[in-house]
């Protein structure tokens, strides 16, 4: 099997993590790191003596790496990914894929033209717990799905360039799309910029799907507790996925309410089941999927198309937020 | 001290609970119970040999009781409370006070005219944990309040006559009004009727206050877990009140994010404090406040005026829900 | 069905609780309360106008009650129960049955002679959760049982007349005897009197059973957390019963270690199951069993014989404690 | 600052972890790995191209490394550490230091003679949470310490060469010695070999200290839950250290029981405080201490002397276990 060489653009939070995981993929290695910050580059060079480093991103793009990982601020994703594709590189872009729909569409189209892999870092699609949830949804075990409640809150980390929707909601939107295989048809947003002007730090999104299912997503940078939870409410079973509880990540509740004539509603209270999940690091699986897609030509799970769908939802949410700010579509409470 | 005699109208879920707590108030006793259902009335008679019982509510209203507790379906609150006041009785009505604003206004006005106590069963205003929260808010210890997240979900109990907003949100709205001493100026609602047509069983309310504070309330009859939590996010402290965790009901987090120049935001991570709360049964304290208001003429904490304020918020939420259903003010997600 | 009348001796912590539950048994009522403390007796009289009360226990024993509940300090159990049986009363004694084996043997023998019910207040034998555990053990679902770990700790309540073993261990010992249908053959104890001289407030008991099963019981009045947990370790399944977690009282772990040749041991990691338990108040079920035993002549679940078995274990533990204090059977650690 | 080179003997569970942490110490690097298993050695060689590897341990001992990490089975610790010291290497041995007291004494003495660092891998002495606990104990904030309850249980990992006491109790014993600065004077043990003959897999240790403080340690390879908890009961405060709860590792309870005249005991129920702990990886701090001790000549925190003290306690526990197995010092429960 031919060895794959990868280059990493951006050595912030995600760059080193992805590099470490790519290194553990067999017949794959990271051969070059680029970052605009010369201090970061110097640090890489001192810690990993054999590693080629540069502050010139073009140098990395012009090198012989097979694949490029783009772990930079969102606003730069489009330009960097475009250049990399044009140079014939396979590309893995951190989420969200781009800052708007047009850019994402262009990248997807370009990747198809040049015949290269375009992938987005939707790590949660590779989580064994999310895949356990997906199996439950897809098998029909949960019955008809009424609604989903997703929560992803914690203190910080504030970003200057994007709001909390673009920062945190890509996770939940990509999970929803992956679980249900459909995109929402409408979205409503309630968000606030409490700390910095114009940078919304708390948001509630309501998504509507064509089959009547609804989803609520609560994302926040201003919360004392770390909560990462997705609850799926079906008419046969209800499931809670709690990413912060390793020993009990997925809990299946055999309970529910059934519609009758008299009394109108009756309740089922059955057992709770916590399946054993063979845990594997999602980021590791993501990196393996990237290498595999390059080798086989098969599209990766978190393909550019998936990344585009997520950006469509985020962009609609942003539009809803902008409109509601202008239109003031709220109901006054009389004093 | 003269003994107070009370009559209970409605012997369902709340009636017996309030009766038991009224009995434990000194120099107070329940002397009569009325319910339309003759089986229930017979049961009371057999279990409590000395108790007067009737299926004729007028019989109770015509009796010599000093105070009347109305623990019946919401749609009947107005008529029953009005009659009781007109007969000179002091009245405690289960929450919400009435089914609309006009009725609540009329009751408040009538109580003032006849000089009788009108009180509403906002039990949580008597919770020692909520009062601990209030002390934290009012003392300024939490700093400027950014927002509040309230959650009150569980499986059932479905009601046929009111939706989940009128059933569960009175608790959270009354807590908010009590904590902050102000009413919201605007409200937005996203709700769905998953199980029964036209009876919304899941709802998200967004409340806006004149000082920029926002509050989100999530109420649901369709959830696998019992969650009763209110999180208050201040710029100095954040507090979580979890009503289902008796040993750690109020948790004060000395953490937050501060706005600077460079870096833009910095974070504080300090200790968590769980104050000891001397627990007393909220319903017991509510009953004592009712008896005390009758005796002293002082308005009770959960006065008719407070009940009216809560109904105003609920009615605005209902109006927002009705309007949004008609207007479809949502943003479409392009396919 | 003839009505049963009960008398309660001792109006402290348990007396009122048992009285309330006996009242809810059909065709049963509490007709008399006796306590040496005239203030307590006066309080009962004022709160329950129809109730006969006395500070003369003989008056209650001489009355026409059918059954007597003895909810007094342990040292008085024997004399009171004996007198009650000799007067032809059915007797329910709070746990532990007596303060030593001889007294318990005599009561059991006397009850048999006079043909009256002798029962002991081992409430946990009536807990639906303990009965779920028992079903799991008895059905063989857990496989061969290796060992049991029981923990019952909290702050207080210190008693002056008995140590923590006699106060708290009756619960765990009675649970063990009920789960496994056998008594331990040997016992070791490590206990300390930290707060008051000679009143041991922390104890660890090790019980050995004839089939090789072992059980460890940790009881303490000096602990910051309320823990009430019994873990049963079988070679097929492991179960945790946590009495403080109403939503997840019994958790069945399909996990374990299996002995092989190479590697020596392999591990199974399967699902966790939390069965739904139809909850009923254990004390209510205990009271119903008392009434039923009186009516039918069938021995109650927590019979005098069971009470005697538990006292035998406690007395052996006390003996072990006394001996070890004298003999100093410990191993020195060289400096 | 001169660079330090380290060699790792044993590439099982701990070897790679320590290597990674040593690499992150500044001016320190791992230059050689030795393991008897040629497959493991080959794996290291392929993953880390520059690393020298060998299956001949003498080759590593004869190399120019400054320090040697011994991460091999316990029975080999003594011989390997002795040889390394005799060759002038600084030595870090995984816990427990040796399999018996004589070996530990000899190593400590030898290290002193040759003027080299002898250190033992008591990782928990470097845990910021344990150090927070130590600060609380040493400052007197907890008051007089009554007793300690330590629990370290989980499923597996079974070992063939040592029992659960030698495997898990070194952690708790080293924590106790570190917290209180004193060694126990006596020890009692109750242990069982449920799964494999002669390899005890569940054990309860009772330690007595000269000042009357007692400690109970429960270690088990046969438990469904991962519990790692140390509770310190003082007369002024009680503290729980739960190593499995990163957000609330140390909880200080301002509660307790005080001795009075009447009533005999009264209770304090105050606030719970959870201090913020600046987390740093204990293993990283341990590696830094090793490098620092080599450079400065200052003894490391987890010195050979400390390792010897822990081995003394473990050996006494083993002796107590052997004796109790022979002497049968238990109390029979009469049938």
Q: Which of C248, C271, C276 lies at the smallest CB-CB distance from A270? A: C276
Instruction: Identify the pLDDT of residue A258.
Output: 87
Question: Where does the pLDDT of residue B330 fall: very low under 50, low under 70, confident under 90, or very high at 90 and above?
Answer: low
Query: Parallel, antiparallel, or unpaired for β C28-34 and C52-54?
Result: parallel
End position of a domain, from candidates B66, B99, B121: B121
Mind telling me how many Å the CA of C217 is from chain B's nearest CA? 24
Contact B269 D276 (CB under 8 A): yes
The better pLDDT of the pair A280, A329 is held by A280
Asked whether the predicted pLDDT for residue B1 surpasses 80, the reply is no
Whether residue B170 sits in one domain with residue B81: no
Q: Which of D248, D269, D275 lies at the smallest CB-CB distance from B276? A: D269
Instruction: Identify the pLDDT of residue B75.
Output: 95
**What are A168-203's pLDDT values in tens digits?**
999 999 999 999 999 999 999 999 999 998 899 999
- Interface size between B and C, measured as CB pairs under 8 A: 7
Instruction: Identify the pLDDT of residue A330.
Output: 55
Residue A330 lies in a domain: no
Asked whether the predicted pLDDT for residue C157 surpasses 80, the reply is no
Residue A151 lies in a domain: yes
Instruction: Identify the pLDDT of residue A157.
Output: 75
Q: Distances from the Cα of D155 to the Cαs of A18, C233, D130, D158, D220, in angstroms?
A: 32, 11, 24, 9, 8
Whether residue B69 sits in one domain with residue B166: no
Give the CB-side neighbour count of residue B196, counting CA atoms within 13 A. 23
SS3 A230: strand
Contact B223 A233 (CB under 8 A): yes
Instruction: Identify the pLDDT of residue C333.
Output: 66
Instruction: Identify the pLDDT of residue C265.
Output: 83
Instruction: Identify the pLDDT of residue A333.
Output: 66
Contact B271 D272 (CB under 8 A): no
Instruction: Identify the pLDDT of residue C314.
Output: 97
In chain B, at which residue ranges do the beta strands (DSSP E only) sit?
Answer: 4-9, 28-34, 52-54, 67-70, 90-93, 118-120, 145-153, 186-192, 202-208, 214-220, 227-234, 238-242, 250-259, 265-274, 331-332
- Read off the tokens for C66: 């059918």
Instruction: Identify the pLDDT of residue D154.
Output: 96
Nearest-angstrom CA–CA distance, C191 and D190: 14
SS3 A231: strand
Whether residue C128 sits in one domain with residue C25: no
Residue D296 lies in a domain: no
Q: What is the CATH number of the domain that holds D134?
A: 3.30.360.10
Q: Which of D101, D186, D194 lies at the smallest CB-CB distance from C331? A: D186
**What are B93-146's pLDDT values in tens digits?**
999 999 999 999 999 999 999 999 999 999 999 999 999 999 999 999 999 999
Asked whether the predicted pLDDT for residue C327 surpasses 60, the reply is no
User: By the CB < 8 Å criterion, does A27 face chain D?
Assistant: no
**What are B200-257's pLDDT values in tens digits?**
999 999 999 999 999 999 999 999 999 999 999 999 999 999 999 999 999 999 999 8
Whether residue A104 sits in one domain with residue A158: no
Whether residue C134 sits in one domain with residue C276: yes
End position of a domain, from candidates B62, B86, B121: B121
User: By the CB < 8 Å criterion, does D49 face chain C?
Assistant: no
User: By the CB < 8 Å criterion, does C259 face chain D?
Assistant: yes
The conformation of residue D76, written as its DSSP 8-state character, comes to G
**What are A63-75's pLDDT values in tens digits?**
999 999 999 999 9
Asked whether the predicted pLDDT for residue A159 surpasses 60, the reply is yes
* Sequence-distant (≥ 6) Cβ neighbours of residue C257 within 8 angstroms: C265, C266, C267, C268, D155, D156, D158, D195, D221, D222
CA-based end-to-end distance of chain B: 73
Backbone angles phi, psi at A274, to 5 degrees: -115, 100
Residue (of B125, B145, B10, B29) closest to B73 by Cα position: B10
Whether residue A85 sits in one domain with residue A183: no
Q: Which residue is listed with tokens 């019989």?
A: B59
User: By the CB < 8 Å criterion, does D247 face chain C?
Assistant: no
The alpha carbon of residue B157 and the mean position of all alpha carbons in its chain are separated, in whole angstroms, by 16
Q: Which residue is listed with tokens 């966790």?
A: C272
Q: What average pLDDT does range B175-185 have in this prediction?
A: 96
**What are D231-240's pLDDT values in tens digits?**
999 999 999 9
End position of a domain, from candidates B121, B147, B173: B121
User: By the CB < 8 Å criterion, does C147 face chain D?
Assistant: yes
Whether residue B69 sits in one domain with residue B25: yes
Whether residue C67 sits in one domain with residue C156: no
| Cβ contacts of A276 on chain C, cutoff 8 Å | 254-255, 269-272
Nearest-angstrom CA–CA distance, A103 and A109: 10
**What are B280-320's pLDDT values in tens digits?**
999 999 999 999 999 999 999 999 999 999 999 999 999 99
Q: What average pLDDT does range D126-144 have in this prediction?
A: 98
Residue (of C130, C150, C44, C32) closest to C89 by Cα position: C32
Nearest-angstrom CA–CA distance, C229 and C250: 10
Given a contact cutoff of 8 angstroms between Cβ atoms, the answer to whether B205 and B189 are in contact is: yes
Question: Where does the pLDDT of residue B323 fall: very low under 50, low under 70, confident under 90, or very high at 90 and above?
Answer: confident
Nearest-angstrom CA–CA distance, D162 and D155: 16
Instruction: Identify the pLDDT of residue C255.
Output: 95
Asked whether the predicted pLDDT for residue A131 surpasses 90, the reply is yes
Q: Distances from the Cα of B73 to the Cαs of B9, B35, D116, in angstroms?
A: 11, 12, 83
Stated pTM of the model: 0.95
The conformation of residue C196, written as its DSSP 8-state character, comes to B
| Cβ contacts of A332 on chain B, cutoff 8 Å | 185-186, 316
Nearest-angstrom CA–CA distance, B327 and B319: 12
Instruction: Identify the pLDDT of residue B160.
Output: 78
DSSP string, C288-321: HHHHHHHHH-PPPTTBHHHHHHHHHHHHHHHHHH
Whether residue D211 sits in one domain with residue D118: no
Residue A307 lies in a domain: no
Residue B50 lies in a domain: yes
Question: Where does the pLDDT of residue A331 fall: very low under 50, low under 70, confident under 90, or very high at 90 and above?
Answer: low
Q: What average pLDDT does range A300-320 have in this prediction?
A: 97
Q: What is the CATH number of the domain that holds D58?
A: 3.40.50.720
Lowest mean pLDDT among A79-88, C160-169, C301-310, D285-294: C160-169
* Sequence-distant (≥ 6) Cβ neighbours of residue B25 within 8 angstroms: B4, B284, B287, B288, B291
The better pLDDT of the pair B308, B267 is held by B308
Contact B155 A186 (CB under 8 A): no
Q: What average pLDDT does range A76-93 have in this prediction?
A: 98
Backbone angles phi, psi at B317, to 5 degrees: -65, -45
Residue A49 lies in a domain: yes
Mind telling me how many Å the CA of A57 is from chain B's nearest CA? 25
Whether residue C188 sits in one domain with residue C265: yes
Instruction: Identify the pLDDT of residue B327.
Output: 52
Residue of D nearest to C239 (CA): D224
Asked whether the predicted pLDDT for residue D331 surpasses 70, the reply is no
Give the CB-side neighbour count of residue A294, counting CA atoms within 13 A. 26
Contact D271 B270 (CB under 8 A): no
Q: What average pLDDT does range A324-335 have in this prediction?
A: 62
Residue of A nearest to D226 (CA): A247
| Cβ contacts of B250 on chain D, cutoff 8 Å | none
Share of chain C above pLDDT 90, in %: 85
DSSP string, D96-123: SS-SSHHHHHHHHHHHHHHT--EEE--G
**What are A212-253's pLDDT values in tens digits?**
999 999 999 999 999 999 999 999 999 999 999 999 999 999
Mind telling me how many Å the CA of B275 is from chain D's nearest CA? 4
Domain that holds residue A47: 4-121
Q: What average pLDDT does range D188-204 have in this prediction?
A: 93
Asked whether the predicted pLDDT for residue C167 surpasses 80, the reply is yes
Share of chain A above pLDDT 70, in %: 96
Whether residue C128 sits in one domain with residue C116: no
Instruction: Identify the pLDDT of residue B50.
Output: 79
Contact B274 D273 (CB under 8 A): yes
User: By the CB < 8 Å criterion, does B271 face chain D?
Assistant: yes
User: By the CB < 8 Å criterion, does B248 face chain D?
Assistant: yes
- The number of distinct structural domains making up chain C is 2
Instruction: Identify the pLDDT of residue C159.
Output: 78
The mean pLDDT value of chain B amounts to 94
User: By the CB < 8 Å criterion, does B246 face chain D?
Assistant: no
Instruction: Identify the pLDDT of residue B335.
Output: 65
Residue D157 lies in a domain: yes
- Read off the tokens for B173: 């709205």
Residue C335 lies in a domain: no
Most confident of A133-137, B12-16, B21-25: A133-137
Whether residue B15 sits in one domain with residue B147: no
């Amino acid at each position: 099997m031919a060895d794959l060489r990868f280059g990493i653009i951006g050595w912030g939070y995600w760059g080193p993590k992805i590099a470490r995981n790519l290194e553990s993929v067999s017949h794959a290695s990271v051969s070059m790191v680029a970052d605009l910050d010369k201090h970061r580059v110097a640090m890489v060079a001192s810690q990993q003596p054999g590693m080629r480093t540069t502050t010139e991103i073009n140098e990395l793009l012009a090198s012989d790496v097979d694949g490029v990982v783009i772990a930079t601020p969102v606003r730069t994703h489009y330009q960097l990914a475009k250049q990399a594709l044009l140079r014939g590189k396979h590309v893995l872009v951190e989420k969200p894929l781009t800052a708007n729909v047009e850019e994402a569409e262009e990248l997807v189209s370009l990747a198809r033209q040049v015949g290269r892999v375009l992938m987005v870092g939707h790590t949660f699609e590779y989580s064994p717990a999310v895949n356990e949830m997906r199996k439950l949804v897809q098998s029909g075990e949960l019955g008809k799905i009424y609604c989903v409640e997703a929560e992803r809150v914690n203190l910080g980390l504030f970003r200057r360039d994007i709001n909390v929707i673009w920062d945190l909601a890509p996770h939940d939107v990509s999970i929803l799309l992956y679980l249900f295989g459909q995109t929402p048809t409408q979205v409503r947003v309630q968000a606030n910029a409490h700390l910095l002007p114009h940078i919304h730090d708390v948001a509630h999104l309501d998504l509507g799907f064509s089959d009547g299912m609804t989803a609520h997503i609560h994302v926040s940078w201003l919360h004392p507790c770390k909560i990462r939870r997705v609850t799926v409410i079906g008419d046969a079973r209800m499931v809670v996925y709690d990413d912060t509880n390793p020993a009990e990540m997925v809990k299946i509740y055999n309970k529910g309410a059934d519609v009758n004539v008299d009394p109108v509603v009756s309740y089922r209270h059955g057992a709770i089941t916590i399946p054993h999940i063979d845990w594997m690091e999602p980021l590791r699986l993501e990196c393996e999927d990237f290498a595999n897609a390059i080798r086989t030509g098969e599209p990766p799970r978190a393909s550019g198309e998936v990344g585009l769908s997520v950006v469509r939802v985020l962009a609609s949410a942003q539009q809803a937020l902008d409109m509601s700010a202008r239109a003031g579509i709220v109901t006054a409470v009389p004093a």
